[in-house]
């Protein structure tokens, strides 16, 4: 069975690009990489263009779109909507990890710091979970 690393960036092109750059480094160590992408909150055509470009050049990096999900309608702020959206994707993440595990050995689940609510999906399956902070170090000084 092929060994793979599954990655889950937060919504937004900046988070996706940073996670894919890490994926490029990981795949040099003979792992395939699957990047899970959400659908329905901050979708933008530039994300699809970027995915096409990366897929054309890096065949060992694949992208899987999770089923459409909406944020909680009771959420007031952008942050509440964002985190509720990620949390509502946790069941899709669990299902997808289970499916990937049927055909590959999942060596790690790398998640964006903002996707902590999906951590249980992997840890309950015995898959090591790692956080990736996609912002620069200067943001930590705030």
- Residue 48 to residue 52: CA distance in whole angstroms: 6
First to last CA, the chain: 44
Q: Residue 47: what pLDDT?
A: 82
Q: Which residues are catalytic?
A: 15, 112
For the residues 80-105, what does the mean pLDDT come to?
Answer: 91
Q: Residue 121: what pLDDT?
A: 87
Q: What CATH class is the domain 2-141? A: alpha beta
Residues forming beta bridges with residue 110, ordered by sequence position? 7, 130
Could you tell me the maximum CA-CA distance found in the chain, to the nearest angstrom? 45
Q: Residue 49: what pLDDT?
A: 86
Q: Residue 124: what pLDDT?
A: 93
- Residue 75 to residue 82: CA distance in whole angstroms: 9
- Residue 40 to residue 21: CA distance in whole angstroms: 23
Q: Residue 123: what pLDDT?
A: 92
In 8-136, which ranges are continuous DSSP H helix?
13-27, 45-57, 78-88, 90-103, 119-123
- Scanning the structure block, which residue is given the tokens 């702020």? 77
71 vs 21: which has the higher pLDDT: 21
What pTM does this model have? 0.88
The token duo for 108 is: 């790690």
């Amino acid at each position: 069975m092929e060994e793979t690393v599954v990655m889950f960036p937060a919504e937004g092109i900046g988070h996706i690009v940073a996670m894919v750059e890490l994926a490029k480094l990981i795949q040099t160590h003979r792992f395939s990489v699957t990047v899970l992408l959400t659908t329905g909150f901050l979708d933008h055509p530039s994300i699809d263009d970027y995915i096409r470009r990366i897929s054309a050049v890096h065949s060992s990096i694949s992208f899987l779109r999770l089923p459409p999900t909406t944020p909680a309608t009771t959420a007031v702020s952008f942050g509440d909507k964002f985190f509720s959206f990620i949390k509502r994707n946790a069941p899709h993440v669990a299902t997808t990890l289970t499916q990937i595990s049927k055909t590959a050995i999942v060596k790690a689940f790398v998640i964006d710091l903002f996707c902590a609510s999906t951590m249980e999906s992997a840890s309950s399956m015995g898959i090591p979970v790692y956080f990736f902070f996609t912002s620069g170090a200067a943001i930590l000084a705030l």
